[in-house]
Structure 1
Amino acid sequence: VTVLGDEVLLADGRILERDYIPVRDGDDFLGHLWQYRDVTEARRAEQEVARAERHRRAVLDASLDAIFVLDEEGGIRETNPAASRALGWPQEEIRSRAFAEIVLSADASPGMRRDSARRCDGSVFPCEISVTEIPEEEPRRFVAVIHELGGGLPA
């Protein structure tokens, strides 16, 4: 039986990935081939990426302000739960829209400003908007934060 990618944790904390391949000539068993690769750094990097993603998600989920990740055209790529609460749409519905459909000025340029935003029922609320470009991101992405003024987020 061939075994590929089996991980072995060593006492010193290193992680080896091993492959076992039986070597045969017809029905004759000639031996086996073992191959080991040290994947410790790769696994640690994967764990760090997963940890950073958990932290990023926790920050987005904990925010009371609506947060959007926008593409260059103003399309909404990602939102947080507060965006759904503020606008009244499910997150999937928000991601199918353009930022210009939500912000009355249709301005997604970097900076901070006062503006108004539209909920799914058509009502409008005053807000402060901050848009920042994510550095060194290709294709270009932006983070937009909508903070509702006076009255707070709907329940």
Structure 2
Amino acid sequence: MGVTCISLITGVFSVEKLYDGASSSWCWRNFVPVTNTISDELGQILDKLLQFQPIHRYSSAQEVLQALSLLPPISTQIPPTLHLDTLIPVTVLSSASQTSKIEIYYIKLELLLKSQKWKEADLETWKLLCMALNKPLEVKITSSEINLINCE
């Protein structure tokens, strides 16, 4: 779980980059994008999830949830001038490329995820998949169709 968390936070999905074998330590903090802020408390939770010896890790998911619940609250407000349904082109909002080759914009999904609106983000993901496959929302998508999505 810890490796998954740091991969998602850093955007690096190669354990070899996130773990320094020479010093036997995780160097994930070096890869956190400057636009993300990770509190020391969250960093300590992640570090405990990544401990080599299981005895030094959390003993259960419930224990992790308890530790996370003790973190100070963060602001999840989207700026009032930005409305999710009337977005300006993503190139104005971000230097990162957040469109696909077929001109699907992902900024709404990114904002929903940053705002921790998980159900809305799940629905937006479904909409984007259907759009990429040129399918109506009410139709099921098969695993073989996922390979048809034109991705970089």
What TM bracket, shorter-length normalisation? under 0.3
Structure with greater Cα Rg:
1
Higher relative contact order (CA 8 A, sep 6+): 1
Using the size of structure 1 for normalisation, the TM-score is 0.23
TM-score (norm 2): 0.24
